[in-house]
């Protein structure tokens, strides 16, 4: 059953009528929360206060994590990642049975361990989304889970506001052990407040403007927009008649992938040209669509 049939059963079932993702309560909807999209929306004039607060929490958490890796503070790293692993309250992403060991605290620590070496090289990582470029198997699902944990309190407050709109009761979940990142204390705090509870399970609603089908910035987008583009630019020629000749991007991509994987290309390029991570992020940010996923597409993903 979709959550809208519980909250507002008489409202026509289409995302045109909702400001949240109409998730299933008995399964997952294959959408993800993207921290770079949140950062993009937060810097726009007139950005909603909840979006700004989400981004503030994400930036503060990342600063703490980056510092812990830079100073080789293993205890702090474990503490920071202790509450950043799999969470299924949003009912977004892949099914929990397909996530594997990487979704646990220990799995997350192991997955992100290579990031420390990059940080200590002085590579200018500035956003939590940068990790998805150089960390193997740190995909949309895991970054979305981490993001959800960090902004848990903001999502809970949003959820309560939706429930209030439709007159649906919420419950106190203070004793359920949920945590959120507090940018004032620079630490995890216990969530002491209310939220939506269905069949005994906590449900977080997600604003539809912050979800994506795939990350705006990851290994694939970096490979395509930075590495392939760089090779294309270097091989572009101008004839005597002034006509520009560019090699085909698909051909360049095919040739490059005959040498090594997109991940290996990304890692090698970032190490060789550290500032390229900034270029890639800026280009990814510039390509983000202000309107996000259309209501028609959200309906197709949620209801088909």
Determine the pLDDT at residue 96.
57
Confidence tier at 114 by pLDDT (50, 70, 90): very high
Determine the pLDDT at residue 287.
93
pLDDT digits (tens, 9 = 90+) for 174-212: 999 999 999 999 999 999 999 999 999 999 999 999 999
What are the structural domain ranges in the chain? Answer: 4-217
88 neighbors 99 (Cβ within 8 angstroms): no
Determine the pLDDT at residue 241.
78
Alpha helix ranges (H) inside the chain? 4-7, 35-42, 49-70, 74-81, 105-120, 131-134, 140-150, 152-166, 219-222, 229-234, 249-257, 262-272, 276-286, 295-303
As a whole number of angstroms, the distance between CA 178 and CA 108 comes to: 18
For the cut 80, the answer to whether the pLDDT of residue 104 exceeds it is no
Average pLDDT over residues 222-228: 96
Count of C-beta atoms within a 10 Å radius of residue 85: 20
Average pLDDT over residues 27-36: 96
pLDDT digits (tens, 9 = 90+) for 38-48: 999 999 999 99
More confident residue, 43 or 243: 43
Determine the pLDDT at residue 188.
98
pLDDT digits (tens, 9 = 90+) for 160-178: 999 999 999 999 999 999 9
Asked which of 50-59, 235-244, 283-292 is least confident by mean pLDDT, the reply is 235-244
Determine the pLDDT at residue 111.
92
pTM equals 0.93
Of 206, 281, 217, 289, which Cα lies nearest the Cα of 33?
Answer: 206
Confidence tier at 110 by pLDDT (50, 70, 90): very high
Confidence tier at 29 by pLDDT (50, 70, 90): very high
Determine the pLDDT at residue 217.
95
For the cut 60, the answer to whether the pLDDT of residue 100 exceeds it is no
Determine the pLDDT at residue 137.
87
174 neighbors 192 (Cβ within 8 angstroms): yes
21 neighbors 203 (Cβ within 8 angstroms): no
Side-chain-side CA neighbours of residue 30 (13 Å): 10
Indicate the average pLDDT of the chain. 93
Determine the pLDDT at residue 106.
86
Query: Which residues are CB-neighbours of 191 under 8 A, at least 6 positions away?
Result: 152, 153, 156, 173, 174, 178, 179, 180
Average pLDDT over residues 117-121: 95
Q: What percent of the chain has pLDDT over 70?
A: 97
Determine the pLDDT at residue 85.
79
For the cut 60, the answer to whether the pLDDT of residue 99 exceeds it is no
Determine the pLDDT at residue 225.
93
């Amino acid at each position: 059953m979709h959550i809208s049939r519980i909250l507002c059963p008489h409202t026509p079932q289409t995302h045109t009528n909702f400001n949240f993702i109409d998730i299933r309560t008995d399964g997952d909807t294959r959408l993800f929360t993207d921290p770079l999209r949140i950062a993009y929306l937060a810097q726009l004039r007139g950005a909603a206060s909840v979006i700004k607060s989400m981004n503030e929490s994400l930036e503060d958490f990342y600063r703490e994590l980056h510092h812990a890796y830079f100073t080789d503070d293993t205890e702090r790293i474990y503490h920071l990642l202790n509450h950043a692993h799999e969470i299924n309250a949003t009912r977004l992403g892949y099914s929990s049975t397909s996530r594997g060991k990487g979704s646990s605290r220990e799995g997350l620590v192991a997955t992100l361990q290579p990031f420390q070496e990059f940080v200590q090289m002085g590579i200018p990582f500035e956003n939590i989304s940068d990790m998805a470029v150089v960390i193997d198997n740190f995909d949309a699902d895991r970054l979305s889970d981490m993001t959800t944990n960090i902004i848990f309190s903001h999502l809970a407050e949003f959820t309560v506001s939706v429930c209030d709109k439709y007159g649906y009761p919420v419950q106190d979940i203070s004793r359920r052990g949920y945590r959120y990142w507090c940018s004032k204390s620079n630490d995890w705090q216990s969530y002491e407040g209310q939220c939506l509870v269905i069949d005994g399970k906590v449900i977080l609603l997600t604003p539809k403007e912050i979800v994506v089908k795939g990350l705006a910035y990851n290994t694939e987008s970096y490979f395509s927009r930075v590495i392939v583009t760089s090779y294309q630019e270097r091989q572009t020629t101008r004839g005597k008649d002034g006509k520009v000749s560019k090699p085909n991007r698909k051909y360049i991509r095919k040739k490059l992938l005959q040498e090594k994987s997109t991940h290996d290309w990304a890692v090698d390029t970032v190490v060789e040209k550290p500032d390229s991570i900034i270029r890639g992020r800026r280009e990814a940010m510039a390509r983000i669509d202000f309107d996000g996923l259309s209501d028609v597409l959200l309906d197709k993903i949620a209801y088909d």
